[in-house]
Structure 1
Amino acid sequence: MSPFLDRHPNARAHNLVAFADSPLLNYDISLHPSTITTHFQGVSTAGYLEPAVYPPQRAITIVTPHLPWSIPVTASNGRYVTVSDALNALYRSLRTNVTAVEFNSLGTQKLMRRASEAYAHRYMRLRGHRGYDEEKKQGVKRVDFLMGCTKFRGLSPTSSADVWRIHVS
């Protein structure tokens, strides 16, 4: 059974990270979670310490058909993965540099060009700001394999209780 097709019957994500057409969080996953904003009243910072998924899990894996990697998330509190744990794990994993082998695994010149363009766009938005040179020097990162689709749309359950699909646009 494909983990991308069938939902686990009892699983759901916390409202802050649940897949939605209009997610509660405005988050560009190429940026640090501290840049998250929301237009909804009543979103408190305490929500980030609540379980990211229900039923609560000590560890989850985040997947997407757009990346050849899965993203492991473990509970920082030892009990359950929090909303904050999930968002921070996404950021850390997607900020990992891509190796030449991984880059070549894209398979086609078109996909390699699109990932390179996403990389250039990512560092160019810092032009004139602190961090531009360092960002450019660090090269292509996993987030660039999303080809610029970095708007977080949420998590949805899969056929496995501990595997969650990330949606981006």
Structure 2
Amino acid sequence: MSKRVHFAPTNKIYSGGSATPSPSLTVSSLPSSSSPDILTPPPDEDDEYRHIVYPTTPHWNQADLYPEIVLPKPMQIHILLAYAPQTDPAFEFDMINPPTSGHGRYPIHAFAEYATSPPVQSLIITHPLLMHEIEVSPPPSAQGNYVTVADILLSIYRQLRHPIHPVDYAELPDGERREGVDAAYYVRTGSIRNAEERAREERKGIKNIDLLMGCTRFMGLSGTLEGPGVWDLNVA
């Protein structure tokens, strides 16, 4: 039975828009995969899916109620990243494995769109079980200066693959928390069928992904009271 971490803030979701395609979509530095859906550079602009309109969640506009008040534009999160407590995420992403384009459910160029509206140049992702924040910014090779959907997904995957420092492990409280982390490590490494690869992964030790104690399904990001630059990671 999976555990789920819930957060109270409700997302405002936007449907995406044009963004400069970024080389950050390339995952050549990640482990090789036979899946054709692994995130790669977006297709040409005349792609047949370019005119797809993504659904958005309806929300009331405060400016309609108080037209005399000039309000700043609220921060919105892309539908591919949004946390919706009552529904499944927009696409499946097991954070143990590299992110893919969702087996064709969404066109590949949707992952090159800005992660937020208005766009931001960097942001931070937090989770109460992680000992360090996940920092996201466009790679130096990117053509644009704003964070894309792919930047966030790849940053989550890469940073959760980092082994934790022995000092961090020593700070884990004894009991259920430490046992849960240890169990997640053994399940993750034990699922590798190739004996040589499994032994190599075991030698790398406990990773950040194990701190989530087996909850590796990406459920989306939700806003926080700390402002538009900080988002909570929801998992199941």
Bin the TM-score by the shorter chain.
0.7 to 0.9
Match of 2:61 in 1: none
1:12–1:54 CA contact under 8 A, matched in 2: yes
Where does structure 1 lack aligned partners over 5 or more consecutive residues?
none
Instruction: Quote how far apart the aligned CAs of 1:142 are.
Output: 0.5
Match of 1:72 in 2: 135
Match of 1:150 in 2: 216
Aligned pair count? 163
- The alignment status of 1:84 with 2:181, answered yes or no, reads no
- The alignment status of 1:139 with 2:205, answered yes or no, reads yes
2:95–2:157 CA contact under 8 A, matched in 1: yes
- The alignment status of 1:63 with 2:129, answered yes or no, reads no
Q: Aligned partners of 1:168, 1:121: CA distance in 2, in Å? A: 17
Residue in structure 2 matching 1:37, options 77, 87, 102: 102
SS of equivalent residue, structure 1 residue 33: coil
Q: Aligned partners of 1:117, 1:79: CA distance in 2, in Å? A: 40
Q: Aligned partners of 1:85, 1:58: CA distance in 2, in Å? A: 11
Instruction: Quote how far apart the aligned CAs of 1:12 are.
Output: 2.0
Match of 2:112 in 1: 49
Structure 1 counterpart of 2:153, one-letter code: L
Which structure has more helix as a fraction of its residues? 1
Change (3 A) 1:74 1:116: same
Q: Report the RMSD for the aligned CA atoms in angstroms.
A: 2.1
Q: Aligned partners of 2:80, 2:190: CA distance in 1, in Å? A: 30
Match of 2:228 in 1: 161
Where does structure 2 lack aligned partners over 5 or more consecutive residues?
1-6, 12-72
Q: Aligned partners of 2:76, 2:181: CA distance in 1, in Å? A: 32
SS of equivalent residue, structure 1 residue 111: helix
Q: For 1:64-120, what per-residue CA distance to the aligned partner results, in whole angstroms no more than 9, with x for missing partners? A: 112121100002334210111001110111111111211122212321111011011
Q: Percent identity?
A: 31
Change (3 A) 1:10 1:143: same
Structure 2 counterpart of 1:153, one-letter code: M
Match of 1:125 in 2: 191
Instruction: Quote how far apart the aligned CAs of 1:6 are.
Output: 5.4
Residue in structure 2 matching 1:14, options 78, 81, 101: 78
SS of equivalent residue, structure 2 residue 233: strand
Instruction: Quote how far apart the aligned CAs of 1:167 are.
Output: 0.5
Structure 2 counterpart of 1:86, one-letter code: I
Instruction: Quote how far apart the aligned CAs of 1:37 are.
Output: 2.9
Change (3 A) 1:82 1:130: farther
Higher alpha-carbon Rg: 2
2:112–2:149 CA contact under 8 A, matched in 1: yes
SS of equivalent residue, structure 1 residue 155: strand
Change (3 A) 1:84 1:107: same
Q: Aligned partners of 2:136, 2:228: CA distance in 1, in Å? A: 14
Change (3 A) 1:130 1:37: farther
Within 5 Å, which residues of 2 pair with 1:74-113?
Answer: 74-76=137-139, 77=142, 78-113=144-179
